[in-house]
Amino acid sequence: MNEAVRVKTERGVMTVTLNRPEKRNALTGEMYNRLEQAMREAMDDDRIRVVLLQAEGEHFCAGNDLQDFGTKGAKAAAEGTSPAMQFIRFMLDFNKPLIAAVRGSAVGIGTTVLLHCDLVLASDTARFALPFTRLGLVPEFGSSLVLPMLAGKVQASHVLLTGETFDTNRAVQLGIVSQPVNDQELDAAAAQRADELAELPPQALKATKALINSPQQREQLRDAVARESSAFARGLASDEHQEAVKAFFEKRKPDFGRPA
């Protein structure tokens, strides 16, 4: 049986690969647990200089697996004990360089996780979406704070309120992607970037990352995540979310009771 998250360490680079291509690498609770475990190992092991996050197949990550998430998501989210929330809170303090290589769909947390990476390479096939409002939910992973800081209030509001899909060029404009590449060059380019960083002085890299992500900013981020978590839990329990999920599985347009 293939692992849904593969981890390999070589020459100072830990490569973490989402390996559920048949589901567009949608994340389950077990996958969040394995991701957190891998990141903890990377932080604790001085031999690991850089982490590269990538995905098997044609898509980076389709967000949360709605079936897995829906069975226990609302209660766990309300209590702050869901694997997703535990992973999110841990990643706020991840202190080593984190690179992402993105192709195909990057939906929901498949995009918001990129806001916490240091280098993001994306191919010309990449398509990003933050469809939280369309699911009766709110943004997560501190994106309600970080995206306006990167893109400005109006641009961030546009993508967070509409949930529209956007391409790599737009993601560069929004400050989500740092390096666009051709799809056939993505894997090699990301590996090269990881190798380059792994050869640099590790303490200087960590110190620079700490300066970029100051203690004050991290406190703001923790506060934003806490507020998002409460609103997200309320959203999961809402009629709007139940209708959105039901419509998704029934392959129809949701009915949110638009006034006449």
Give the model's pLDDT for residue 258: 77
- Domain regions of the chain by residue span: 5-183
- DSSP per-residue codes, 89-134: HHHTT--S-EEEEE-SEEETHHHHGGGG-SEEEEETT-EEE--TGG
Q: State the amino acid at position 187 in one-letter form.
A: D
Residue 113 Cα distances to 92, 146, 234, angstroms: 10, 11, 22
**DSSP letter, residue 141:** T
The predicted pLDDT at position 186 comes to: 98
CATH topology of domain 5-183: 2-enoyl-CoA Hydratase; Chain A, domain 1 (3.90.226)
In this prediction, residue 47 carries a pLDDT of: 97
Rounded CA separation 210/219 (Å): 13
Distance of alpha carbon 225 from alpha carbon 92, whole angstroms = 9
Q: What is the pLDDT of residue 72?
A: 59
CB contact set of 222 (below 8 Å; sequence gap of 6+) = 89, 92
Q: Can you tell me which residue has the tokens 């850089």?
A: 50
CA dihedral over 223, 162, 231, 118, signed as positive or negative: negative
Per-residue buried b or exposed e for 196-216, using 16+ beta carbons within 10 Å of the residue's own CB: ebbeeebeebeeeeeeebeee
Ordered mean pLDDT values, 10 residues apiece, the chain (260 residues): 90 98 96 97 97 98 83 58 93 97 98 98 98 96 97 98 98 98 98 98 97 93 96 92 90 86
Lookup: tokens for 251: 């392959």
Which among 202, 184, 186 is positioned nearest to 119, based on CA atoms?
186
Burial bucket for residue 73 (CB in 10 Å: 0-12, 13-18, 19+): buried
Angstrom distance (rounded) from CA 142 to CA 163? 16
- The CA–CA distances, whole Å, from 162 to 105, 129, 137, 220, 243 equal 17, 10, 12, 25, 18
Contacts for 251 with CB less than 8 Å, ≥ 6 apart: none
- Residue 94: per-residue pLDDT: 97
Closest listed residue to residue 142, CA positions, set 177, 176, 102, 92: 92
